[in-house]
Chains A and B, each alone.
Chain A
């Protein structure tokens, strides 16, 4: 898994060819002719050196044929109009990568900005830059003085995503297992030994535990790797170097101090891991048993996975809803939507993790947990009834009405 992620990271490093950009400055706004056929930018700092991007300047545009046969990959063009319109044209043979576009945009913006400052004000550019301000907005809970709630909600969101993924993937495993036993007719022998409901519950429990084990292994591994890397960075002084680079002068830095001085990493320190993992496990178990029993009921009603599509729809819907709504909940964690979702048992396992990470009254979680438990209890019973009849039904695919009838059949 780690190797896979490493590969992914490796591949996302750009493999683009270097961009060679021709800047066509028709009226020599930001460039001038140094000597014949050699135009340079008026402010070289605006166009810094980058390893993936090279600039050339000209006052004449190339024709299409000339451009294509040249070794330029991009051509940016503008004239006087840019001072009012603030627009330039980038022409390409093959589309430019995002970071090249971003670089050109930044550089050109700075160049034009300098020009405007010089021409329309009496400020010099450095003063102008100094005066420019971008207000940083800090958030704080008025009661708890908690400053990092938003960042923590991101962590909660990550938990939610894992929850969704595992319930979905392993839930399907349950369904497949049930279908296999039914189509292989093994179920008849086993059911002569144990009650069908027992078989169903055991299957859900077993597969659920596999999922749980996997989460635990991943979590522990990540934690160990993080600590290992952290202490390596600490001992080799890497942390101190980074701090120094950022203008902070410290004698030596340990991992904890390093983390608390960086907002992103500080979040990790702020999270109440015990609560998150503890409740995470609880809601995973609850959510998995809830959905797992539905998956089992679906499996018991059909003989092959391809037949299960129409039955899976109502089971997947609340699951997918939770996933989609979760984004909204991340945006406004205190909204009614977020609160409601954290109580409704079909969405709560997934959506409550965001609220948990931000801190939520204990009774809120407990009530949600109780609602979940009660629902799980009834769901297992319901699914059990469908399961114990469904596994003996062969032939046509049952309609929802028929399945509803099974609920009324007597035990055994």
Chain B
């Protein structure tokens, strides 16, 4: 699975910004400390610099859930 990588400043600039009406960007960090947004956000937005962001392979932070 792939995601788009951002700089810290780019990620901060997207917080609170809609990528389509009533749906907001959510930059998060991956397991290697990269700021990333999803393919869904980029494909549905109309911001030129966002659409030009590079793709990387997604490495999620694995949370360990409670077990019975």
Q: Do A and B come from one complex?
A: no
Which B residues lie at the A interface, using CB under 8 A? none
A residues sitting closer than 8 Å to B (CB atoms) are none
